[in-house]
Structures are given as structure tokens and as C-alpha cells.
Amino acid sequence: MGKWKILHNLLACVSILLILYALIKNYVIDPGAVEFLSHKTGLKRELNLPVWLKVMYVHVAFSCIAMASGLLNFSTRIFKKSRKFHRINGYVYIVSVLLVVLTSGYMAPYATGGKISSIGFNLINMIWPLITITALIQIKKNRIIRHRNWMIRSYAFCFTNMVIHLITTLFHQGFGLMYATSYTIGVYGSIVLLLIIPDIIIRTIGQSREVANSA
């Protein structure tokens, strides 16, 4: 099994689990986001809960669509079967990314951890679309490997929420820091990790055209 195939299988497991977790946690177990909102203390702006929740539902829905469509487009088997599907699904991914970022823009001012966290989120709101559009520009110029690499960089940001929560848990429960402080560390930690890890992956799979030839 080639490196690309192993990576894709691993990605599929993590992404599918994450999609299921996001849907069940936010629409079934805790639709009022009671647990998450309990950590918001001393908000500078008053949060309009019904609106915030609706925006959060849209945010989670398009996050899941982005994760699913992105995953499908990394499949060489599907790519070989239908380029048209890859192209349409690619635009579904881009629109979903833009909607995640748009909804994030509404939620960012109320972020746990205050202004510093908000700035971190708004940084991601700029970085993620930029990286995604770069991937689109590369394929418009017919540069397949560069397109693949920029898509790997873009897809990494689908794991923003997961990485933020992992880092928050580590600092809050592991090192005993306050929740809000741990969350802010999570926001910035996720930016650093999600910019570094894809490049390690890209270096590991190399510059081969394996993506177009295998699996």
C-alpha cells in the first residue's frame, strides 16, 4: 500500500469519526451548547443566545460538509472515475469553507478567552480562505501537485475545532490552567500546528504524482 493510500485511509477514519462526533454532540447531546457556554464569563458584549445558536448550527453543518467533501476529493479512486464530480465537489468544499468562515466571523467577537481569542479566530478566518483559494488558483494553472499540496494545507483547518479542544483539555485538565486561558492557547496552538503538520505530511508523501497514479 502506497503512502498516499495509507494517509487517505487514516484521514478517512479520523474525519468520519469527527463528523459523527460533531453532529451528535451539537445537534443531539448538547443542542443548547450549555457545556461550552458555561465557560463564557465576563463577556464584553452581550450574547444573543438564539441567534448565536442558529449561527453555530450553520457553522457545524458546513464544517461537516467541508470535512466530507474534502475527504472525497482526496480519493484517487473517485477522481479517476469522475473528474466532473471532483470539480463540482471541489466547489462545494470552497463554498462550505467560506460559510464556516462567515459564521465564525459572527461568533469570534464572543469567543471564550476574550479579545485575544477573537483575534486568533479572525486570523484563521483570513488564512483558511487564502490557502483554499491558492489551491484553486494552482489547479487553474494546471499545477496538479501544487494544487494537491495546497488542498492538504487547506483541509488541515477542518481540524481546527478538534485541535483547539485537545489543547484546551491538555492545559486545563492536564496542567490546571484556567479554562479561558487554556482555550486561548488552544486557538493559537491550533494555528501553529495546522500550518506545520500539513507540510510534514507533504514532505513525507513527497513530490510524486502518486495521487494521480495510485489507489
The residues that touch ligand HEM, with contacts defined as CB under 6 A, are 22, 26, 33, 36, 56, 59-60, 63, 66-67, 100-101, 104, 107-108, 110-112, 121, 124-125, 128, 157-158, 160-161
Residue 17 C-beta: closest distance to ligand HEM, Å: 12
Residue 73 C-beta: closest distance to ligand HEM, Å: 15
CA distance readout (Å), 136 to 26, 90, 92, 93: 31, 9, 12, 11
Contact 185, 168 (CB under 8 A): yes
Contact 164, 186 (CB under 8 A): yes
Nearer to ligand HEM among residue 118 and residue 149 (C-beta):
118
Residue 165 C-beta: closest distance to ligand HEM, Å: 6
Residue 101 C-beta: closest distance to ligand HEM, Å: 6
Euclidean distance between CA atoms 141 and 156, whole angstroms: 23
Nearer to ligand HEM among residue 160 and residue 182 (C-beta):
160
Calculate the CA dihedral of residues 192, 199, 14, 77 and round it to 10 degrees: 150
Nearer to ligand HEM among residue 74 and residue 210 (C-beta):
74
